[in-house]
Amino acid sequence: MIKVLHCYKTYYPDTFGGIEQVIYQLAEGGVKEGIQSTVFTHSPAFDDAVTNLDHHSIFRVKTQCEFASTPFSLSAIAKFKKLASQADIIHYHFPYPFMDIMHFAAGIKKPSVVSYHSDIVKQKSLLKIYTPLMNCFLNSVDSIVAASPNYVRSSPVLQQYKDKVKVIPYGLNKDFYKNNDSAVLEKWQARFGKGFFLFIGTFRYYKGLHILIEAAQQSDYPIVVVGAGPIEAELKEQAVKLGVTNIHFLGALEDTDKSALLQLSTCLVFPSHLRSEAFGISLLEGALYSKPLISSEIGTGTTYINIDRVTGLVVPPSDPQALRGAMDEIWNNPRQAMSMGQAAQERFETLFTADKMIESYTDLYKSLLNM
């Protein structure tokens, strides 16, 4: 039995982002590999709360304050140290600057892995202050994992640590996406039919939804948007101002609804335009369902998943006209769209299954433990 302690700033049930999903897949999928996982995280609502989620444990420390999207809690250090003493491997999820402080304050000497999910893009001024601590932290850990070779090549930070960087792509478990509820499928089919563009994700500044809304002007195909987030009101206001009536904001939905919409959709559109989008889990969801993909070239994992003219179309970032052209092409060429969708599904099976991700991380854990 290998005991792994995951550390990240947020986790279920407080947040449901891509990193949380990766942690969940690792924790649950690792069970069959003899891995017992605990997730250490902050929470705005819970303190010293230990709960079980399916086959792994979650330890939550209440957030005392938050600055630059980073939760802090002085009591977290002692609690993290205690949990770390019971683990064989410490698995950090970057970026989370307070995690670096906990690592050194707790005097961690255990084998350690960092999943490097993203460069720090937005907080450029604070990054200058944080960089010395970040470099000390990344120097001190045993292994750094990136999700795509594209991101390693384009990240100035990862280029400094090439000797300890490994590439392990994110993967999804197809079993979590099985939707056998015909009533749910029929509900969405009655509303949207079998043809529409689909976006799934949190409404954040780098997701490019404002570009999608601009691209949708004077189009008549349905565009279904699943998710919620801090810029939701301004996005809806933009759609009204531009007279875009064919975008349907559905809010956050249950997994069964999301699966049904993926199954019924024509194409997964993913307009993220900044490097804050390091990978794109939603692209994997579209590929899993044999859907063609539309994404932007931002030098990250999005174009490791989506190969232009093979699995879908890749457009320049922040270019509504190019995005509109790609959507028109997919909509008007169903045979081409189907062929790209099949290629996306084949690429998913080759590179992006949860089993492959878990097997690679298990091998890494064992190598650090000399097993």
Residue pLDDT tens, the chain, 371 long? 999 999 999 998 887 778 898 999 999 999 999 999 999 999 887 767 789 999 999 999 988 777 777 887 888 999 999 999 999 999 999 999 999 999 999 999 999 999 999 998 777 778 888 899 999 999 999 999 999 999 999 999 999 999 999 999 999 988 878 777 889 999 999 999 889 999 999 898 999 999 999 999 999 999 999 998 889 999 999 999 999 999 999 998 988 999 999 999 999 999 999 988 999 999 999 999 999 999 999 999 999 999 999 999 999 999 999 999 999 999 999 999 999 999 999 999 999 999 999 999 999 999 999 97
Q: Do domains 2-173+353-368 and 174-351 have the same CATH topology?
A: yes
Q: Rounded CA gap, 107 and 109, in Å?
A: 6
Cα dihedral 116/7/35/81 (nearest 10)? 130
Residue spans per domain, the chain = 2-173+353-368, 174-351
Q: Which CATH architecture has domain 174-351?
A: 3-Layer(aba) Sandwich (3.40)
Tokens 């809304």 belong to residue? 213
Give this prediction's pTM.
0.90
Q: Rounded CA gap, 332 and 185, in Å?
A: 24
**Exposed e or buried b per residue across 65-89, where buried means at least 16 C-beta atoms within 10 angstroms of its C-beta:** eeeeebbbbeebbebbeebbeebbb
Q: How far is CA 265 from CA 44, 159, 327, in A?
A: 36, 38, 13
Backbone phi, then psi, for 350, in 5-degree steps?
-75, -35
Q: Which CATH architecture has domain 2-173+353-368?
A: 3-Layer(aba) Sandwich (3.40)
Q: Between β-strands 70-72 and 65-67, what pairing exists: parallel, antiparallel or unpaired? A: antiparallel
Cα of first residue to Cα of last residue in the chain, in angstroms, is 11
| Burial class, 249, CB count within 10 angstroms (exposed 0-12 / middle 13-18 / buried 19+) | middle
What is the 8-class DSSP label of residue 48? S
What is the 8-class DSSP label of residue 89? E
Q: How far is CA 160 from CA 61, 79, 164, 274, 350, in A?
A: 33, 32, 9, 22, 29
CA nearest 202: which of 226, 182, 184? 226
